[in-house]
Structures are given as structure tokens and as C-alpha cells.
């Protein structure tokens, strides 16, 4: 056997809802179904996180196995026959959703996650309107101690996605599952305030929460998803090149997310990328170039520096003025009197052009970058 044959990945063939599906050996039923375009609903599962199989929503029936099994945690085996829509499967899913709704608020219209809540969507899909087991709602206080997001334990379904996101993606371990049985809840260790936990405020837990248990505190109107426009762009805060999806309504950003297929960040963001967008519409932000104008009357050099007036100008006027002053300084004092300083907020290409401009156009080797400091 050659090395290539030994290392070649083995494939297996299974049947899902009558459809022949080829998948890699070791894949789960859920992974095989998703590769084949067959939908199996989930709540606790996320492709970026480890598998816990706690919500029991992804149940399927497997020929030769007793009862139903969780698709996210069951390995696919060669010639396995699986049904995702058998009566016992749909009954098990409805049971799981009804149990979750028995302790979950049903005022979806007032929830920030209305229209985006995975539990809400699943209840509609399975036609679950009122839980058969009655309602047992214990009003718990909303934790507002974090500067950027709210934690509403009343809406938590204890899927553990926030715990795993913090531990496995952010590698920070802020959240934990405390208590047992019906008294269990998601909290920080020893219920410490966020400022004492080492939280990075990256919002990874918020982005992966399937309900409205973790939501942003920044002003965000509750609007139907169809009224929000999504524009893909690059984060302006540093040169890493993280991909952003800007959710805008009118001319205002209401939310920032990141797609999981983003090449640089795989859907993760830092605190600046996720929450630092209010500067875009800040009233103090300059929207037009300004040129310094000397104040009227006699004044010393220091007074001029501190009391300069400004006037608005066009980009052409400003660029021509800068080019003229650079040429004058170079002619009078020599190229070594000029220097360039570039920014980590721009792209690698922009920084390359900047150093080429300083070296070849200005004739100076005085070029530096803020990331070196």
C-alpha cells in the first residue's frame, strides 16, 4: 500500500430520508446531513463549538437502534439508514421545545431577538403554540453589569453555547453553568461582576446565543429583519482585515456581525470591531477637509498654534496644498527634513504605497509605523 493510499480519507455511504449520502468516516449524522443539504434543526449545536448534545432537538431515527438518537453526537456508520421526519422524531422534537417554552417568556414581540431567535423559529416550524406542561416562570433579575451587553437569565435555555464560545473561541472561560436541575443557570464564576472576570468584551458569547438571553446594550431599535440592510466590508480598527457585516437602517449602523466564512477572523471580532461603531454617526466627526487659517491680529507663534481657525475646503484644494508645502520644505531644507508615519488601521498595500512615496517621491528614508512602538 502506498503512502497516498494509506493517508486517503475513507468515505462511507449512508441513507438519509431515502437519499444516498457519501461522507467521511468519523462524521456525525448531522454533519453528513448538512453536507447533503438535508436540514436537521439544532439549538445547542454550533459548527465552531464542541458537541454536548444537550438540547435533544436534532433527534433522528436510525434503523436498528432503539428509540431516537441525537444527530449531532451520533457517528455515521456505513450503510446506516436514517429518518429525520418520522413521527417519533417530530414528537421528540416537539417535546424538547415544549419543555424549553414551559420556562421561557412568550412575549416575543417585545424581545430584541424577535425574528432572529432560533427557539422561536423552531416553535413555529413544529407548530408549538402553548406548552402542554403548563408554565413555570420564576422572574430572575437582568444582569446589566457589563458595559456592552445584557444578560437576561429568564430567556436562557442553558444550551451552553456562550460557555463554550468563551472557553473554546475566546479562550477566556468567563461563563459557567452553575446549579443543578431546575435551579441551574448560566453565570460568571462565583457570580462575580464582569469587570472582575477578565472578560475581553469581544461579544463572542452574544453572537452565538440562540435566544435573547445575551443582547447588546448599545442603542438598537427593534425592527423587522426585512427593514435592515446588510453591507459587507472590512473592519477599520486595525490591519488584520476582519470581515464585517454592517446592519444599517436608514443611514445608521444598528449592529455589527461577522460571517463564519470570513478568511481572517472566521466570524470572531474584538470589542472594537463588534461594538466600536458609534463614531460613524458621532456629531463631532469631521465630514469635510479643513485648512488652518491664521487668526486675525498680531500673535506669537505659540498663540497661533493654540488658536488657529479652520475653514472648510475641497479635497483637491487640500491635496494641492499638501503637495506644495512638501515640495517647498524639501527644496529649502532637503529630503531628510521630511518623514512619514503610517498606520496599522490601513491595509498592507496602503502601508507599502506609503513607504514607497516617502522613499522615492520625497527621497527620505524617515518612515515608521505605529505598530512598531
Identify the CATH number of the domain defined by range 223-285.
Answer: 2.20.25.90
Mean pLDDT over 308-316 rounds to 89
Highest mean pLDDT among 147-151, 160-164, 225-229, 341-345: 160-164
Q: What is the pLDDT of residues 246-291, one digit of tens each?
A: 999 888 898 899 999 999 999 999 999 999 998 888 888 888 999 9
Q: Is the pLDDT of residue 110 over 50?
A: yes
**What is the pLDDT of the chain when averaged over all its residues?**
88
Contact 168, 50 (CB under 8 A): yes
Cα distance between residue 145 and residue 48, in whole Å: 28
Contact 152, 212 (CB under 8 A): yes
Reported confidence tier of residue 354, pLDDT bands at 50, 70, 90? very high
Q: Is the pLDDT of residue 100 over 50?
A: yes
Q: Is the pLDDT of residue 373 over 60?
A: no
Q: What phi, psi does 143 have (nearest 5°)? A: -85, 115
Phi-psi region of 251 (alpha: psi -120 to 50; beta: other; left: phi over 0): alpha
Reported confidence tier of residue 300, pLDDT bands at 50, 70, 90? low
* CATH architecture, domain 138-217: 2-Layer Sandwich (3.30)
Assigned C-alpha cell, 11: 468515505
Cα distance between residue 287 and residue 361, in whole Å: 29
Cα distance between residue 161 and residue 175, in whole Å: 10
Helices (H), 202-297: 204-208, 271-275
Q: What element of type H or E holds 162?
A: helix 161-164
Residue 143 DSSP one-character state: B
Which residue ranges make up each domain of the chain?
Answer: 3-100, 138-217, 223-285, 290-372
Cα distance between residue 8 and residue 278, in whole Å: 50
Identify the CATH number of the domain defined by range 3-100.
Answer: 3.10.20.740
Reported confidence tier of residue 304, pLDDT bands at 50, 70, 90? low
Amino acid at each position: 500500500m502506498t503512502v497516498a493510499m494509506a493517508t486517503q480519507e475513507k468515505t462511507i455511504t449512508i441513507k438519509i430520508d431515502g437519499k444516498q449520502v457519501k461522507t467521511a468516516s468519523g462524521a456525525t449524522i448531522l454533519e453528513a446531513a448538512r453536507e447533503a443539504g438535508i436540514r436537521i434543526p439544532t439549538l445547542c449545536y454550533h459548527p465552531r463549538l464542541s458537541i454536548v448534545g444537550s438540547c435533544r432537538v436534532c433527534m433522528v431515527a436510525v434503523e436498528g437502534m432503539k428509540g431516537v438518537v441525537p444527530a449531532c453526537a451520533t457517528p455515521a456508520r456505513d450503510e446506516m439508514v436514517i429518518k429525520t421526519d418520522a413521527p417519533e422524531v417530530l414528537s421528540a422534537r416537539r417535546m424538547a421545545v415544549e419543555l424549553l417554552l414551559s420556562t421561557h417568556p412568550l412575549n416575543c414581540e417585545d424581545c430584541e431577538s424577535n425574528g432572529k431567535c432560533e427557539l422561536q423559529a423552531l416553535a413555529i416550524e413544529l407548530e408549538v403554540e402553548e406548552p402542554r406542561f403548563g408554565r413555570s416562570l420564576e422572574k430572575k433579575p437582568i444582569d446589566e453589569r457589563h458595559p456592552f451587553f445584557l444578560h437576561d437569565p429568564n430567556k436562557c435555555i442553558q444550551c451552553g453555547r456562550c460557555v463554550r464560545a468563551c472557553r473554546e473561541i475566546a479562550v477566556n472561560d468567563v461563563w459557567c453553568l452553575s446549579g443543578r436541575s431546575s435551579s441551574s443557570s448560566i453565570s460568571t464564576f462565583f457570580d462575580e461582576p464582569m469587570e472582575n472576570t477578565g472578560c475581553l468584551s469581544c461579544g463572542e458569547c452574544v453572537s452565538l446565543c440562540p435566544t435573547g438571553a445575551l443582547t447588546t446594550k448599545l442603542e438598537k431599535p427593534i425592527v423587522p429583519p426585512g427593514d435592515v440592510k446588510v453591507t459587507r466590508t472590512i473592519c477599520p480598527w486595525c490591519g488584520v482585515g476582519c470581515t464585517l457585516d454592517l446592519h444599517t437602517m436608514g443611514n445608521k449602523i444598528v449592529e455589527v456581525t461577522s460571517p463564519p466564512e470570513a478568511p481572517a477572523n472566521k466570524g470572531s471580532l474584538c470589542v472594537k470591531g463588534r461594538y466600536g461603531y458609534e463614531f460613524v454617526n458621532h456629531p463631532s466627526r469631521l465630514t469635510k477637509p479643513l485648512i488652518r487659517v491664521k487668526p486675525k491680529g498680531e500673535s506669537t507663534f505659540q498663540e497661533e498654534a493654540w488658536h488657529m481657525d479652520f475653514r472648510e475646503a475641497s479635497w483637491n484644494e487640500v491635496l494641492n496644498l499638501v503637495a506644495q508645502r512638501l515640495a517647498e520644505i524639501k527644496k529649502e531644507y532637503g529630503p531628510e527634513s521630511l518623514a512619514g508615519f503610517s498606520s496599522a488601521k490601513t491595509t498592507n498595500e496602503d502601508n507599502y504605497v506609503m513607504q514607497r512615496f516617502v522613499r522615492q517621491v520625497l527621497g527620505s528614508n524617515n518612515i515608521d509605523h505605529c505598530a512598531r512602538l
